[in-house]
Amino acid sequence: MTQGQQRTRRAAFTGLTSLVARGSSTAVNLVSIPLTQHYLGTERFGLWLMLSMLLNWVSLTDLGLTSSLTNVLATANGDVRQAKQAVSSAFWLMVGIAIVLSLVFTIAYPFIQWDRLFNVTSDQAKSEIGLVVIVFFVGFILRLPLSIAGRIYTAYQEGYFYQAWAGLSNLLSVGALLVAIQFQVGLPSLVAGFFGTALLGDGLATLHVFGWKWRSLRPEWVEFSPKQAKWLLKTGLQFWVIQISSILFFQTDLMVVAQLFGASAVANYGPILKLFTLLGAIQTAFLFPLWPAYGEAFSRRDVPWITITFKRTIGLTLLWSLSTGIILSLSANKILKLWLNETVTVDLILAMFVMSVLMALGHCIGTLLNGLGHIKSQVI
């Protein structure tokens, strides 16, 4: 088997396991949304959806370090010393970022009117919002250093290990949600139980990576390299700009809706948004593993494999996004009616369809540029 065939096989296997993990995540969403909507009520349910969106923003606070770490490890070509220095440098930088953010949050927390920020009006939501933010922030901060393990799997094209841990945490989150509802707990406890399972998956991945799979990469302070840290930060900040742009374009919808129409309006907009994000979730399950594969192939000057693979991803992406997008558009209101007994307007469905297709094509190009290390062009 050639090197190119091995890359394709590893990427496909990671994609399949990722698809299973995301399938479990989708199942969790399908189960959790009607359960939480009924249990929490309209406004608190809208707040729940906003917190779910904000959890995806953890990558924004790492200054792009995990992304730059992926490129270093993917192109190290077996240099264990370089890889260990990169992991140690990224880990301790991440710990430093977590400490700084914690200090800023502790100082700023008393001065922020959280009920106004999230635009909640009910007495129950107002009484819970402060503690909800604290619980959410603690989980947010802990995920920063724990996110490194997942990128190590990705860089070495063994992302299927991480997807296995993610799938397990998804299943456990359903159990946590059902227990929380059974005991009639408040929103802070619900957030702690449901989102805390994501931390469990990251924790298990960290133990597996540094305790067994790649012990030689275990972070150590003595392996912290100022030169490596400088490069990681320089490259990472470019990734960071890209991440901010992506979030501003595609992941602020719910916050905008909340500010314009109130948190209760999120309960109507959120489900159709989640429904169409399934298209991108399935696509990226197979696309994301190609990032380190492109990087490793580029370091070996295997340009023919890169060219063929990129053309295939464009063709398959168009086939997938257009066909499934049309089917989903035609059946969206029927699905929403059965799922939540709600419907949305045709123009909103059309907008979601167009956005999904354009995002799918953008992901193909972005993955290639990330793997080749062409970050500046994306920043511009």
The pLDDT assigned to 102 comes to 94
Q: Which residue has the tokens 């109507």?
A: 268
pLDDT digits (tens, 9 = 90+) for 102-112: 999 999 999 99
- Judge whether residue 234 has pLDDT over 90: no
More confident residue, 211 or 245: 211
Q: Please give the biggest Cα pair distance in the chain.
A: 64
Q: Which residues of 199-214 are buried (b: 16+ CB within 10 A; e: fewer)?
A: bbbbbbbbebbbeebb
Query: Residue 264 — pLDDT band, cuts 50, 70, 90?
Result: low
Provide the pLDDT confidence category of residue 125 given band limits of 50, 70 and 90: confident
pLDDT at position 372 over 70:
yes
- Confidence tier at 307 by pLDDT (50, 70, 90): very high
Q: What is the pTM of this model?
A: 0.71
Average confidence (pLDDT) over 300-325: 91
Q: 367 vs 281, which has greater pLDDT? A: 367
- Alpha-carbon span 278 to 26, nearest angstrom: 8
Percent of residues, the chain, with pLDDT higher than 70: 91
Contact 323, 282 (CB under 8 A): no
| Tokens linked to 224 | 């912290």
Scanning 290-302, the segments in alpha helix (DSSP H) are 290-299
Give one word for 112, left, alpha or beta, with left for phi > 0 and alpha for psi -120 to 50: beta
Band the pLDDT of 56: cuts 50, 70, 90. low
Residue 351 CA to chain centroid, in angstroms?
23
CA atoms within 13 A on the CB side of 327: 7
- Answer yes or no: are the C-beta atoms of 357 and 320 closer than 8 Å: no
Q: How far apart are CA 291 and CA 351, in angstroms?
A: 29
Task: Tell me which residue has tokens 């009520």.
Answer: 41
Grouping H, G, I as helix, E, B as strand and the rest as coil, residue 268 is: helix
pLDDT at 263 over 70: no
Other beta carbons within 10 Å of 80? 11
Report d(CA 7, CA 305) in Å as an integer. Answer: 9
User: Is the pLDDT confidence value at 16 over 80?
Assistant: no
**pLDDT given at position 107:** 95
The pLDDT value recorded for residue 100 is 93
Q: What is the mean pLDDT of residues 244-249?
A: 72
Indicate the length of the chain as a whole number.
380
Query: What is the arithmetic mean of pLDDT over 329-342?
Result: 81
pLDDT for 105: 93
Site of tokens 């003595």: 222
pLDDT for residue 46 is more than 70: yes
Contacts by 79-85, CB closer than 8 A, 24 or more apart: 80/216, 80/217, 82/228, 83/216, 83/217, 84/216, 84/217, 84/220, 84/223, 85/223, 85/224, 85/225, 85/228
What is the SS3 assignment for 8? helix
Please say whether the beta carbons of 197 and 172 come within 8 A: yes
Question: What per-residue confidence (pLDDT) applies to 143?
Answer: 84
Of the pLDDT bands very low, low, confident and very high (cuts 50, 70, 90), residue 267 is low
What pLDDT score does 108 carry? 94
- Asked if the model's pLDDT at residue 20 lies above 80, the reply is no
